[in-house]
Every structure is written in C-alpha cells, then in structure tokens.
C-alpha cells in the first residue's frame, strides 16, 4: 500500500510551491504527482520557445471551450500546461501580482487572512527580485524575477506616449504603484524560464521526504464517508491507489480541479445525478464562477528600427540562436510582452480595469498549429478586461477523466463587459496616435482604419476576441452558499481535502494570474502546516465511492 502524509495533485504554478513548503518539514512525507512529463527541454527553458509550446499536445492539455453563443459559435482554444511546472512552463512568464484592492476585495468577501497586507509577506517570501528587496519586494526567495534583458526604444516611446496622455509612469507595478505604465517583469533567470518546478522543486528534488511522479493522471479522490483518504491515478495504462495519512491537495488548475471534484462525487447535485456519479457532497459552487480575462489584439506596421521581428526571421534568427546559446541574452531571452499600462475603462471605476500590453514584435498563426514571427516590422498591442461582470461554468462532458470538461465562459454577455473592452481598443489607439510612438507607426493593421464606430469595434470583438488564458474562480473561497473552500482552502463539508490553485480566487486578479497562483501555493503550505492534522490509521481504508 502506497501511503504519504500529503498528496499534491498537479505540479503546476500552485502545486510546486505547496509541495516545497510541506516538504520543508522533514517530518512530512510528500508526494507530488503530475499528469504530464518532465519539463527539462530546450524550448521549455528558452523564453522565446513559448510559441512552440502553444499547440504542443504532448506538453499542453489543448482545451477548447464549448461553442460561444455571443461569439458566432466559435470554440476558443485554451492551452494549459501538462508537464512539470504546469502552465508556468509554457506561459509568457509575465509576473504581475495584481492590484492591492484585489486582495482586500477577497478579504471583504469573508476571507480573513487574504487582504493585501496578509498576502504581501508571501509575495516577498517567494521571490528573488533582481533589483533587490524593499518594503514591497523580496530578494531571498526561490523564484527569480527580472526586468527585460533587452528594452527596445519603441517600448520607451510607448511609455512616454502613454504618460503624455495622463497615464502615470510606474517603475515597479508590483510595488507601490500598480495603476500606471511601465516595463513588465518576468520569471526569467539568466536568460532561462524560471517555472515553479525549476524554482521550488528542482533545488530540493533529492529530499528523502519528497517524491515527484510524472505521467500520473488523476481519476478520482477516494473517501471514507466525507473524509478524503487518497487518490486513484492512471499510470502507464494501469490504475493505482495511493493513500494520504494527512491530506489530499488538489492543485490541478481552474479547469481540471472542478472536474476532478465532480468525478469524485463533490459538486452540484444535478450535475452528479446527470452523470450517475454517487454523491459524496452536494457542493453547488463547484465549476461555477468561471472567470477569465477577455483579450483583444491589435497590430501596427512600423518602421524597421521599431520592431525586432527582423532579428527572428531569415538568416538573422540563426545569429540570434547562436548569441543566445553563447550568452543566454538577446531576443530569445525575452518574455511575451515588454510594457503594460493599467487604465480605467470609465472614470466611474475604482481602479484600473483594463490592462494594455505592448510588445515590439508580432506573431502569425498557421493552420497546422505552428506559430512564427511575422517577416515585416510590427508592433503588437493587446487589451484585457480585468474585472468581468459575467461568469461561466465548468461542467462534465462524461465520466471519463481523460475527456475534457465543458467550458462555457459566457464572454461578452453583458453591456458592461462590452463597453469596457471597446474602451480598451480606444485607449490603444489613443496611445498609438500620441508622440513619440506615433512617429514609429506606418499603419494600423488590426483592427484596421475601417473599424471606427462602437458597432464596428463590437463586431471585431465578436469575430476575433480571445482568452488571455487567465482562468480562475471555479472553486471559490468564501462563506456563502456557493463557496467551495473556506479561508484555509479546506473543501467545505469534507475532511482532509483542500484546493490550492487559481480556482479558489473569489474573483480573478488585475493582471496576469500566474504570480498570485504561486502566492496561493506558498501561503497554503503555511496554512496546512499550521493545521497539522494527525495522521490517519493506515490500515484497510474503506471507500464509499465505487
């Protein structure tokens, strides 16, 4: 019989730090499982390799939404990492904590211990900020955070243009001033991606009390009554049962965690009955409250010296490759975007509800799933709506754990959301038509000068709008009837089972969600260790789920 004190399911952005924190106590025996393979591959470690991972089905769950009624029935592509490090091993490496009021808002919804002053110590604890520590930043943590190794002149001009129209410049959007415009930071160290696996697990992989297993796909959680006692996994075509003497921790992400809870008998009663799943607990909030940042992309032709596209195509890309191999610097060492501007869609907003991201390069996507840099000089600018008013759902498609769930995001289902995103497109144009960035622009390619009215822009949103891949909220934390976990991330109504990933967010944060997902894992480790449940008797567990 395989028995560990703690079983952590999912070696991603939250799972790796929680496993690391639990194994810091040598008295704890910790198992970390991952459905995907190891992550030590060149294009995973190389920041510019993210384009090659976007459609890589061996390292990516490659989910798709259900047809979206408000978006012409389109099925949106949702990549999620399926390897050690999870989505932190395939994402754009952008590090943005979120606004201070996000976390104060979590606390105000009945979650003591989750206000900004409560989570700031965990952000500081987890990071090594290359500029050094201060009141807001940490310098001794395992996760390296760096500024772009190359800062293009066009990026400086974008910042200056935004400032000239009233957007304040922030030198550190993870510090005192979040709402403003400035260079982004990335989880990159010495030109290589710093995933949560590399930061939190790899340095301690030899610990005798930490076991990491890949290729283990969770099938269900095992119970005695309403107490979680272990898990069942599929490994190399065979079912294995592994037992937890203390707790099972689900860190499979906002799309997989609610699916696994429902397949294990925890979820809305109607959903369980629909699929003839024996009920362990009627938990109506499981799979509800799905949130994401709706994303609109714009693109501009520009002068040759304004974009680094030319350095990544033709013969020059081989020079860049050589330069990277020799120095770990250059354009292959950059994250997905250089600059962000946080602005309000309306003066009525309490704080910025739009994130505008600028990059001095542009991609093109091909029908065969490959992604490449465009040959002509281009500037890419995108906008995310940070606080959507509508939510979606994760529901079951079948009782087969290998089948993706049904994802229904309900994008553009309210006038509030539509007006916010339209405002975001207008903000982009306002900045790009301001000096000094204006002098670098040759023409607007997307959406194009023919898209002028609000109705035109709305149609562009419907036809091209996408996901920023920042899903969260599907097992929300709180004390209301729809809350799945309490403020200590314990599944309500269940013993010895916690959820530790972005699904616990009552609402998603103002910015890329990887940084707060990591913080959740770091904080959760402390919560679990503080609670320190006594070990269960290890003999003959009796399961109530067949």
Which residues have a Cβ under 8 Å from the Cβ of 546 and sit 6 or more positions away? 278
d(CA 546, CA 180): 54
Mean pLDDT of 355-380: 86
**How far apart, in whole angstroms, are the C-alpha atoms of residue 393 and residue 474?**
7
CA 378 to chain centre: 27
pLDDT interval class at 369 (50, 70, 90) = low
The C-alpha atoms of residue 189 and residue 130 are separated, in whole angstroms, by: 9
Q: Which of 123, 65, 32, 150 is nearest to 406 (CA)?
A: 65
Q: Is 91 annotated as a binding residue?
A: yes
Longest C-alpha distance within the chain, in Å?
74
DSSP 544: S
Task: Return the structure tokens found at 367.
Answer: 């029908």
pLDDT band at 411 (very low <50, low <70, confident <90, very high): very high
Write phi, then psi, for 52 (nearest 5 degrees): -80, -15
Instruction: Tell whether residue 485 is among the known ligand binding residues.
Output: no
Mean pLDDT of the chain: 96
> What is the Cβ-side half-sphere exposure of residue 239, based on CA atoms within 13 angstroms?
8
Cβ count within 10 A of residue 414: 14
With the CA atoms of 177, 139, 185 and 512 taken in that order, what torsion angle do they form, in degrees rounded to the nearest 10? Answer: -80
Cα 120 to the chain's mean position, in Å?
A: 19
Residue 545's pLDDT band (cuts 50, 70, 90): very low
Check the annotation: does 184 bind a ligand: no
Query: Is pLDDT at 92 greater than 80 in this prediction?
Result: yes
What local confidence, expressed as pLDDT, does residue 537 receive? 81
- Residues 184-235: tens digit of each pLDDT: 999 999 999 999 999 999 999 999 999 999 999 999 999 999 999 999 999 9
pLDDT digits (tens, 9 = 90+) for 21-61: 999 999 999 999 999 999 999 999 999 999 899 999 999 99
Region 419-446 average pLDDT? 98
Q: What count of other Cβ atoms lies within 10 Å of the Cβ of residue 528?
A: 24
Domains observed in the chain: 1-146+193-287+395-406+472-546 (3.50.50.60), 149-183+294-385+412-464 (3.30.410.40)
CA 254/CA 531 separation, integer angstroms: 24
- Distances, alpha carbon 91 to alpha carbons 188, 196, 223, in Å: 12, 12, 35
- Taking only the tens place, the pLDDT of each residue in 113-143 is 999 999 999 999 999 999 999 999 999 999 9
Q: 500 or 365: whose pLDDT is higher?
A: 500
Q: Provide the 10 A C-beta neighbour count for residue 315.
A: 6
Alpha helices (runs of H) in 362-471, residue ranges in sequence order: 415-432, 454-464
Q: Which of 99, 178, 186, 470 is catalytic?
A: 470
Does the annotation mark 293 as catalytic? no
pLDDT at 538 over 70: no
Residue 443 burial class via C-beta count within 10 angstroms: exposed 0-12, middle 13-18, buried 19 and up: exposed
Residue 449 CA to residue 325 CA, distance in Å, equals: 41
Compute, in degrees rounded to 10, the torsion defined by CA atoms 435, 441, 444, 450. 60
Q: How far apart are the first and last CA of the chain?
A: 18
pLDDT at 449 over 80: yes
* Cβ-based neighbours of 523, under 8 Å, separated by 6 or more: 119, 122
Strand partners, 363: 373
Q: What tokens appear for 231 in the block?
A: 């898990």
The rounded Cα 110 to chain-centroid distance in angstroms is 24
Confidence of residue 541 (pLDDT cuts 50, 70, 90): very low
Q: What is the pLDDT of residues 269-304, one digit of tens each?
A: 999 999 999 999 999 999 999 999 999 999 999 999
CA proximity to 429, closest of 415, 412, 405, 447: 447
Asked whether residue 540 carries a pLDDT value surpassing 70, the answer given is no
- Tokens 């890949």 locate to 214
Token output for 252: 């499979």
Q: How much is the pLDDT for 489?
A: 98
């Amino acid at each position: 019989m395989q028995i560990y004190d703690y079983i952590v399911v999912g070696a991603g952005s939250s799972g790796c730090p929680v496993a690391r924190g639990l194994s810091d106590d040598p008295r704890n025996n910790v198992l970390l499982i991952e459905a995907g393979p190891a992550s030590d591959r060149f294009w995973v470690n190389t920041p510019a390799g993210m384009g090659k991972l976007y459609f890589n089905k061996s390292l990516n769950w490659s989910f798709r939404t259900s047809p979206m009624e408000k978006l012409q029935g389109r099925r949106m592509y949702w990549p999620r990492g399926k390897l050690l490090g999870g989505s932190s091993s395939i994402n754009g490496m952008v590090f943005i904590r979120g606004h201070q009021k996000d976390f104060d808002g979590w606390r105000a919804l009945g979650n003591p211990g989750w206000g900004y002053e409560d989570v700031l110590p965990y952000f500081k604890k987890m990071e090594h900020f290359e500029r050094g520590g201060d009141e807001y930043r940490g310098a001794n943590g395992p996760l390296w955070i760096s500024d772009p190794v190359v800062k293009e002149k066009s990026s400086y001009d974008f910042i200056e243009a935004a400032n000239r129209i009233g957007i304040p410049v922030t030198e550190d959007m993870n510090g005192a001033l979040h709402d403003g415009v400035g260079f982004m930071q990335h989880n990159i160290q010495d030109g290589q991606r710093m995933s949560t696996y590399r930061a939190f697990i790899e340095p301690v992989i030899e610990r005798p009390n930490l076991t990491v297993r890949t290729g283990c796909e969770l099938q269900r959680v095992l119970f005695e009554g309403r107490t979680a006692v272990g898990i069942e996994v599929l490994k190399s075509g065979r079912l294995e049962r592994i037992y937890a003497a203390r707790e099972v921790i689900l860190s499979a992400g906002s799309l997989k965690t609610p699916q696994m809870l429902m397949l294990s008998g925890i979820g809305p009663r109607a959903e369980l009955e629909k699929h003839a799943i024996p009920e362990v607990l009627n938990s109506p909030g499981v799979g509800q409250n799905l949130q994401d940042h709706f994303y609109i992309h714009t693109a501009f032709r520009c002068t040759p010296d304004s974009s680094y596209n030319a350095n990544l195509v033709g013969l020059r890309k081989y020079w860049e490759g050589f330069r990277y191999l020799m120095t770990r610097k250059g354009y292959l060492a950059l994250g997905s975007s250089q600059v962000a501007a946080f602005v309000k869609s309306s003066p009525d907003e309490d704080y910025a509800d739009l994130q505008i991201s600028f990059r001095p390069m542009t991609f093109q996507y091909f029908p065969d799933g490959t992604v490449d840099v465009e040959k002509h000089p281009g500037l890419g600018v995108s906008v995310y709506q940070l606080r959507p008013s509508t939510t979606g759902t994760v529901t079951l498609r079948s009782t087969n754990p290998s089948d993706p769930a049904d994802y229904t995001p309900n994008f553009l289902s309210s006038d509030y959301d539509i007006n916010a995103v339209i405002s975001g497109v207008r903000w982009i144009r306002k900045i790009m038509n301001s000096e000094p960035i204006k002098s670098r622009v040759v023409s607007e390619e997307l959406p194009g000068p023919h898209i002028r009215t609000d109705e035109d822009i709305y149609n562009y949103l419907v036809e091209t709008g996408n996901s920023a891949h920042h899903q969260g909220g599907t097992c929300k934390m709180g004390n209301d009837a729809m809350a799945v976990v309490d403020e200590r991330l314990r599944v309500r109504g269940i013993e010895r089972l916690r959820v530790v990933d972005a699904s616990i967010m009552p609402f998603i944060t103002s910015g890329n969600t990887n940084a707060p997902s990591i913080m959740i894992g770091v904080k959760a480790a402390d919560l679990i260790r503080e609670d320190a449940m006594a070990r269960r008797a290890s003999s003959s567990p009796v399961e109530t789920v067949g």
